[in-house]
Homo-oligomer: A and B are copies of this chain.
Amino acid sequence: MLVQRYFYSRKTLVDEALKSYIVEPKEGPTDLYKAMNDAVFPGGKRLRPLLLFSTYEMLREKKNLASIKPLLPAAVALEMVHCASLIHDDLPCIDDSNQRRGKPTLHKKFGEATAILAGDALLTKAFEVLTDLSDKEKAVRCISILAKAVSSRGMIGGQTVDILASKKNVRINVIRYIHMKKTGSLLQAAMDIACVLFGAEENLMITLGNYALNIGLAYQIIDDILDDVGAFDMLGKEPFEDSKNCKATYPSLIGIEKSKKQAKKLLDDSYKMIKNMKKNDILVEFIDTIRERLP
Contact = CB atoms under 8 A, between A and B. Distances in A.
Given A136-B137, A140-B131, A143-B131, A120 B88 contact: yes
A135 to B, nearest CB: 10
Contact of A116 (B91, B127, B141): B91
Interface stretch (A26-34, A200-208, A280-288): A26-34
A28 to B, nearest CB: 5
Contacts of A266: none
Q: Is the interface of A mostly helix, strand, loop or mixed?
A: helix
A181 B130 CA distance: 23
Contacts of A125: 147, 151-152
A19 interface: no
B114 A88 contact: no
A136 B117 CA distance: 29
Nearest to A158: B28
A122 to B, nearest CB: 9
Given A28-B153, A121-B151, A144 B128 contact: yes
A160 interface: yes
Contacts of A214: none
Residue of A28, A124, A164 with most partner-chain B CB within 10 A: A124
Interface in A155-189: 156-157, 159-161, 163-164, 177, 181
Contacts of A36: 152
Contact of A113 (B29, B94, B136): B94
Interface in A83-121: 84, 88, 91, 93-94, 111-114, 116-117, 119-121
Given A93-B113, A117-B156, A161 B28 contact: yes
A91 B25 CA distance: 26
A88 B116 CA distance: 8
Interface string A245-271: 000000000000000000000000000
User: Size class of A's contact patch?
Assistant: 35 or more
A139 interface: yes
Nearest to A36: B152
Q: Which of A88, A112, A131, A177 has its CB near the most chain B CB atoms (within 10 A)? A: A131
Contacts of A152: 25, 28-29, 32-33, 36, 121, 125
A148 interface: yes
A27 B27 CA distance: 45
Given A29-B157, A127-B143, A163 B114 contact: yes
18 contacts: A28-B160, A28-B181, A29-B157, A32-B156, A36-B152, A88-B117, A93-B116, A114-B163, A119-B120, A121-B152, A121-B156, A121-B157, A125-B152, A127-B127, A130-B143, A136-B136, A136-B137, A136-B139
